């Protein structure tokens, strides 16, 4: 019983259910859509996924905090322009192949080295964003000395009405593809490219 209770507590601290944590530890990529209240005050859906990277947290963090090479390995990401950067904040313009169109937007990324977390929001002062909003995060957690759990959350408001079933499908497909690409990049010591 105590082991089960500990598993539930650990999973909830990580923002996952116990079955999701178990899936990630088995090498799977659990995903789901969760509801949250967006800045507009409306209830929205946010994609959540997790993956275990077979590298230490310091090495995983070093790759994720870099922006100049993300277009080399992240699916659908075509270009990144770093507009400003310091140790705990990066402002970058992203160009994403969004299947039927190309999305361009500027985001503000907050890098918390102590918590091993990257959080982002849309830079609403950028005049040429082609999406209405985005909010997300990567949270890294050491599982063993050479294993890191990455928990990813992302919300994107395209500014267009997208049926829920399409958004859910994209979550189930896009998040695992993204997390597997990150895993390949980190575990190959930066050699793997899409």
Domain boundaries, the chain: 2-187
The pLDDT of residue 12 is above 70: no
Q: What separation in angstroms does the CA of 159 have from each of 27, 48, 85, 125?
A: 35, 21, 28, 16
Give the model's pLDDT for residue 43.
66
Summarize pLDDT for 120-172 with one digit per residue, the tens: 999 999 999 998 899 999 999 999 999 999 999 998 887 766 556 566 666 67
User: In whole angstroms, what is the distance from residue 98 CA to residue 91 CA?
Assistant: 21
DSSP 8-38: HHHHHHHTS-HHHHHHHHTT---EEEEEEE-
- Given the structure tokens 């650990």, which residue do they identify? 10
User: In whole angstroms, what is the distance from residue 180 CA to residue 174 CA?
Assistant: 10
Q: Which CATH architecture has domain 2-187?
A: 2-Layer Sandwich (3.30)
Average pLDDT over residues 63-86: 97
Summarize pLDDT for 79-129 with one digit per residue, the tens: 999 999 999 999 999 999 877 778 899 999 999 999 999 999 999 999 999
Summarize pLDDT for 13-60 with one digit per residue, the tens: 678 988 999 999 999 999 998 877 777 777 677 889 999 999 999 999
Q: With cut-offs at 50, 70 and 90, classify the pLDDT of residue 4.
A: very low
The pLDDT of residue 2 is above 60: no
Give the model's pLDDT for residue 35.
75
Tokens of 169: 């499908």
């Amino acid at each position: 019983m105590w082991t089960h209770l500990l598993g539930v507590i650990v999973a909830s601290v990580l923002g996952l259910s116990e079955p999701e944590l178990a899936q990630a530890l088995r090498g799977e990529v659990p995903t789901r859509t969760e509801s949250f209240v967006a800045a507009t005050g409306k209830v929205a859906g946010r994609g959540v996924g997790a993956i275990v990277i077979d590298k230490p947290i310091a090495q995983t963090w070093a790759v994720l905090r870099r922006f100049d090479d993300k277009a080399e390995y992240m699916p659908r990401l075509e270009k990144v322009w770093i507009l400003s950067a310091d140790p705990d904040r990066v402002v970058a313009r992203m160009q994403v192949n969004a299947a039927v169109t190309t999305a361009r937007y500027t985001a503000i990324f907050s890098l918390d080295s102590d918590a091993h977390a990257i959080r982002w929001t849309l830079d609403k002062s950028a005049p040429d964003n082609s999406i209405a909003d985005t909010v997300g995060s990567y949270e890294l957690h050491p599982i063993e000395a050479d294993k890191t759990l990455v928990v990813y959350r992302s919300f994107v408001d395209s500014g267009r009405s997208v049926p829920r079933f399409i958004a859910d499908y994209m979550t189930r497909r896009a998040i695992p593809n993204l997390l597997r690409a990150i895993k390949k990049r980190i575990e190959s010591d930066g050699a793997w490219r899409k």
